[in-house]
């Protein structure tokens, strides 16, 4: 209006004001009736003054309303306490403050923590609920009163019961169970034992996590799992500063808050999957947590106070040790959890996996029967793993197929209505109470024995009527397995691949168990060099160079010319080129491939080998022997060439496996070649000064 009044000519000013202000129709007509300009202005002026007064009244009313709301939100007394009468605007009020005071007294905090809590409570009293610091202080106080500063669970340790529980929950794994029982026995004799931090290392699906659960169950302690996979920020372990928006305590403090006890069993799962980033190294942050000389005063950044972690029993799991920092590994006792043998997988499938899947799919042994031979087919043709997770999924697929048959075979006229369902459920509950049994929930690698499983049949299934339309129990045989699971995924085709010169079978170790590795080589035209493909590491490339140097040095023993490589080059390939490979254990395999290619002789198709070689032809020991032997056994290989220095590792291999394979222990590459080829290389041993070899008296069927 002001801009318009200055912009229009003075003779039109009265007309513009009369048009803009709020006025009645007679008042506007009175302005129009005034012909003289001065008269028109005198008539318009009262209208303008009245409009200005009305605007002032509106502004004052709005200001009073704002002040009333502010006074209602926070009314501060002389003592500074919130006295707002509106309960919706007061999160705590007198009751909330008193509740915090009571919890602080009952928490039995150390003096330092109690003083800090009371100080924060005093700050909370002086704050308004709408202030940003209010919620931060309140969350901090809730954490302090929730932490188990002195709350402990009474430990119950019965070694006999622990042994029985572990035998029921885990089939095999004798070395692992023996070490856990030793640990528990020492704890029972010395209650103040801080003890080592156990780290279970092994392939996926072998029962590492369930062992930690069994330890917690045996000790009667609460159990909490902390997943460390993919963590690359140290603040996830130590906590964030409270000044940050959304700050939280570290995962260790959060776990203690959840279990409400000072002495739980905390599982640090996948400790080998820790990463590093721009926010620090979480592995370094774990050093203080796991060090028994320091963790009695662990200070979380968010909490800002020392907290005693010395009563916590830490258990860690990992798939490999290569990615765990050395200082962190030094604080843990490593217990290797090996993969399962074929026989162990069959027993686990019969005793634990099959009963669990039957319960989950509403079936019983009276409806579905899976003999051990069928489980062996599933293991051999559809799973090739160290654990049993894939086996459980395949058994679940078979159970679903049987469930479809049962549902299709049940005629519609036999369907039970709601009343019948309720009646059957009541009868089932009464039978269960009278029997006194409870449904267990064993881990997939563990659980009650076969005779202890209880099955809860679906109330919609009437076995008497179902037998009229379906042959029960449904027998899961090889034909049904192939129909449900499809063509076999894994088939042994090594014999066809090794039946040509320049091919040999090696053994490799991976974080998920042992693997069989076929190495191929061909002689092509070129400048006389050695080409390696298959994404090999530097150590593996050096092993190939060492093998080639040995062949050149001993070419006369193989019947080769001294300059046999002048007219061409050798191309050696390691299949599965998308997977990185490294390590010295392929040395004997590479050398055997070179000798096979250059001599045009085929390697025995049933032989696999592993071992490191030197320039002088000495075979050195390697690691992962058990995993490699198990992989060769799964692949159907019957003869293994191993370094003689690895003889001690054969004690860890089950006799059921050793009885089906022939282990040849060697000290030199000459002995490797003698075992790898049908007729051997007699000229090598004719020049051998010792005149005797381990290969001549192999450890057959150990």
Give 360: exposed, middle or buried? Use CB within 10 Å, 0-12, 13-18, 19+.
exposed
Lowest-confidence pick of 235-239, 350-354, 423-427 = 423-427
Tell whether 566 and 620 lie within a shared domain.
Answer: yes
Is residue 544 within 8 Å of 589, Cβ to Cβ? no
Q: What percent of the chain has pLDDT over 70?
A: 82
Question: What's the whole-number mean pLDDT along residues 222-231?
Answer: 92
605 occurs within a structural domain = yes
3-state secondary structure of 570: strand
Is 657 labelled a binding residue? no
The HSE-up count of residue 467 (CA atoms within 13 Å, CB side) is 6
- In this structure, are 444 and 423 located in the same domain? yes
Catalytic residues: 585, 628
Unique residue bearing structure tokens 């793993």: 385
Q: By residue range, what is the domain housing residue 101? A: 87-146
243 marked ligand binding residue: no
154 in a structural domain: no
Verify that 234 and 258 share a domain, yes or no: yes
* Residue 446 and residue 170 in contact, taking contact as beta carbons nearer than 8 Å: yes
503: domain CATH number is 3.30.230.10
Confidence of residue 436 (pLDDT cuts 50, 70, 90): very low
pLDDT of residue 453: 56
604 and 544 in one domain? yes
By DSSP bridging, strand 368-369 and strand 223-227 are unpaired
Within-domain flag for 449:
yes
Q: Are residues 695 and 609 in the same domain?
A: yes
Does the annotation flag 115 for ligand binding?
Answer: no
Answer yes or no: is 85 a known binding residue.
no
Determine whether the annotation assigns residue 417 to a binding site.
no
Closest by Cα among 578, 609, 615, 614 to 596: 609
Residue 322 and residue 174 share a domain: yes
Residues 284 and 362 in one domain: no
For 653-676, what is each residue's pLDDT tens digit?
A: 888 888 889 999 999 999 999 999
Half-sphere exposure of residue 19: CA atoms within 13 angstroms, side-chain side: 8
Per-residue pLDDT tens digits for 177-208:
888 888 888 877 876 656 678 999 988 888 89
Q: Is residue 176 part of a domain?
A: yes
Let me know whether 180 and 217 are in one domain: yes
**pLDDT tens digits for 389-418?**
999 999 999 999 999 988 887 655 444 444
Q: 529-544: per-residue pLDDT in tens?
A: 888 998 899 999 999 9
* 0.85 surpassed by pTM: no
CB 177 within 8 A of CB 312: no
What pLDDT is stored for residue 68 in this prediction? 60
**Calpha distance 88→182 (Å, rounded):** 58
- In this prediction, residue 147 has a pLDDT band, given cuts at 50, 70 and 90, of very high
Q: Are residues 599 and 624 in the same domain?
A: yes
Average pLDDT, whole number, for the chain?
81
3-class secondary structure, 433: helix
359 occurs within a structural domain: yes
In-domain check, residue 78: no
Over range 338-366, report the average pLDDT: 90
Instruction: Write out pLDDT tens, residues 558-616.
Output: 777 777 777 778 899 998 877 888 889 999 999 999 999 988 889 998 899 999 999 99
Is 209 marked as binding a ligand? Answer: yes
Catalogue the E-assigned strands of 481-561: 503-510, 513-524, 530-533
pLDDT at 648: 92
Q: Residue 455 sits in a domain of what CATH number?
A: 1.10.8.60
| Whole-number pLDDT of residue 310 | 87
Q: Per-residue pLDDT for 92 more than 70? A: no
pLDDT at 413: 45
| Residue 93, pLDDT score | 55
Q: What does each C-alpha distance from 694 to 139, 312, 651, 664 come to in angstroms?
A: 71, 51, 18, 7
What is d(CA 76, CA 87) in angstroms, rounded to the nearest whole number? 16
Give 583's contacts (C-beta < 8 A, 6+ positions apart).
508, 509, 537, 539, 540, 622
- pLDDT confidence of residue 468: 76
What is the CATH number for 279? Answer: 3.40.50.300
Give the residue-averaged pLDDT of 354-383: 92
Q: Is the pLDDT of residue 293 over 80?
A: yes
Same domain, 442 and 521: no
Q: Look at the alpha carbons of 665, 666, 671, 677 in this order and tell me if their dihedral is positive or negative.
A: positive
- pLDDT computed for residue 264 by the predictor: 92
Instruction: Quick: pLDDT tens for 465-520.
Output: 777 778 888 999 999 999 999 999 887 656 567 788 999 999 998 876 788 899 99
Q: Write the pLDDT tens digit of every residue in 9-54.
A: 777 777 878 888 888 888 888 888 887 888 888 888 888 888 888 8
Tell me how far apart the alpha carbons of residues 624 and 606 are, in angstroms, rounded to a whole number.
Answer: 20
Confidence of residue 174 (pLDDT cuts 50, 70, 90): confident
Domain count, the chain: 5
Do 198 and 100 fall within a single domain?
no
Q: Which residue has the higher pLDDT, 195 or 309?
A: 309
Q: Is residue 37 part of a domain?
A: yes
Question: In which band, very low, low, confident or very high, does the pLDDT at 82 lie, cut at 50, 70 and 90?
Answer: very low
* Residue (of 272, 204, 225, 224) closest to 445 by Cα position: 204
pLDDT of 686:
53
Residue 560, domain member (yes or no): yes
Distance from CA of residue 538 to its chain's centroid? Answer: 30
Of 36, 70, 104, at which residue does a domain stop?
70
Domain boundary residue among 308, 336, 364? Answer: 336
Per-residue confidence (pLDDT) for residue 91, from 0 to 100: 47
22 is in an annotated binding site: no
**Residue 208 marked in a binding site:** yes
What band does 424 get if pLDDT is binned at 50, 70 and 90? Answer: very low
Note whether 542 and 639 are same-domain residues: yes
């Amino acid at each position: 209006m002001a801009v318009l009044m200055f912009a229009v000519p003075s003779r039109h000013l009265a007309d513009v004001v009369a048009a803009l202000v709020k006025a009645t129709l007679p008042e506007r007509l009175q302005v129009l009736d005034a012909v003289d300009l001065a008269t028109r202005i005198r008539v318009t002026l009262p209208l303008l003054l009245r409009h200005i007064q009305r605007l002032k009244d509106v502004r004052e009313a709005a200001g009073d309303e704002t002040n009333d709301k502010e006074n209602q939100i926070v009314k501060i007394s002389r003592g500074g306490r919130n006295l707002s009468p509106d309960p919706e605007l007061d999160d705590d009020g007198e009751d909330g403050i008193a509740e915090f005071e009571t919890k602080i007294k009952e928490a039995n905090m150390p003096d330092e923590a109690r003083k800090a809590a009371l100080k924060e409570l005093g700050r909370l009293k002086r704050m308004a609920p709408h202030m940003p610091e209010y919620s931060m202080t309140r969350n901090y106080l809730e954490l302090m009163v929730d932490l188990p500063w002195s709350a402990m669970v009474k430990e119950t340790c019965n070694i006999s019961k622990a042994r029985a529980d572990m035998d029921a929950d885990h089939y095999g794994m004798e070395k692992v169970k023996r070490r856990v029982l030793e640990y528990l026995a020492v704890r029972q004799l010395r209650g103040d034992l801080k003890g080592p931090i156990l780290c279970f290392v092994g392939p996926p699906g072998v029962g590492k996590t369930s062992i930690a659960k069994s330890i917690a169950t045996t000790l009667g302690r609460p159990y909490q799992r902390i997943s460390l996979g993919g963590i690359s920020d140290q603040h996830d372990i130590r906590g964030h500063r409270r000044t940050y928006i959304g700050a939280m305590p570290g995962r260790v403090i959060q776990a203690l808050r959840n279990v409400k006890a000072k002495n739980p069993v905390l599982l640090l799962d996948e400790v080998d999957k820790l990463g590093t980033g721009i926010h620090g190294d979480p592995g370094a942050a774990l050093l203080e947590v796991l060090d028994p000389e320091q963790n009695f005063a662990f200070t979380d950044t968010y909490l800002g106070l020392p907290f005693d972690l010395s009563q916590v029993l830490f258990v860690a799991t990992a798939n490999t040790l290569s990615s765990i920092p050395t200082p962190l590994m030094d604080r843990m006792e490593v217990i290797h959890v090996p993969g399962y043998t074929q026989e162990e997988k069959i027993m686990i499938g019969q005793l634990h996996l099959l009963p669990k899947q039957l319960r989950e799919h509403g079936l019983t042994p009276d409806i579905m029967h899976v003999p051990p031979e069928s489980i062996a087919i599933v293991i051999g043709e559809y799973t090739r793993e160290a654990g049993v997770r894939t086996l459980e999924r395949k058994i679940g697929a078979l159970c679903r197929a049987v469930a479809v048959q049962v549902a299709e075979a049940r005629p519609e006229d036999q369907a039970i209505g709601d009343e019948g369902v309720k009646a059957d459920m009541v009868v089932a509950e009464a039978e269960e109470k009278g029997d006194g049994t409870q449904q267990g929930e064993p881990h997939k690698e563990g659980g009650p024995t076969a005779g202890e499983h209880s099955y809860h049949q679906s109330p919609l299934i009437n076995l008497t009527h179902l037998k009229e339309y379906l042959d029960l129990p449904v027998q899961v045989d090889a034909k049904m397995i192939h129909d449900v699971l499809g063509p076999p995924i894994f088939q042994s085709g090594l014999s066809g691949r090794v039946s040509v010169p320049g091919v040999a079978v090696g053994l490799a170790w991976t974080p998920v168990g042992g693997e069989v590795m076929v190495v191929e080589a061909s002689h092509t035209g070129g400048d006389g060099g050695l080409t390696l493909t298959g994404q090999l590491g530097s150590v593996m490339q050096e092993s190939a160079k060492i093998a080639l140097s040995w062949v050149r040095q001993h070419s006369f023993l193989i019947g080769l010319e001294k300059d046999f490589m002048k007219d061409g080059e050798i191309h050696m390939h390691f299949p599965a080129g998308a997977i990185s490979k490294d390590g010295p254990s392929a040395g004997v395999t590479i050398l055997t491939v070179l000798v096979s290619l250059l001599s045009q002789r085929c390697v025995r198709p049933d032989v696999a080998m592993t071992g490191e070689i030197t320039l002088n032809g000495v075979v050195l020991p390697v690691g992962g022997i058990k995993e490699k032997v198990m992989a060769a056994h799964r692949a159907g290989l019957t003869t293994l060439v191993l370094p003689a220095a690895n003889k001690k590792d054969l004690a860890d291999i089950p006799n059921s496996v050793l009885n089906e394979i022939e282990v040849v222990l060697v000290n030199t590459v000459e002995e490797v070649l003698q075992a790898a080829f049908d007729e051997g290389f007699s000229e090598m041993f004719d020049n051998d000064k010792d005149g005797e070899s381990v290969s001549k008296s192999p450890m057959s069927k150990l």
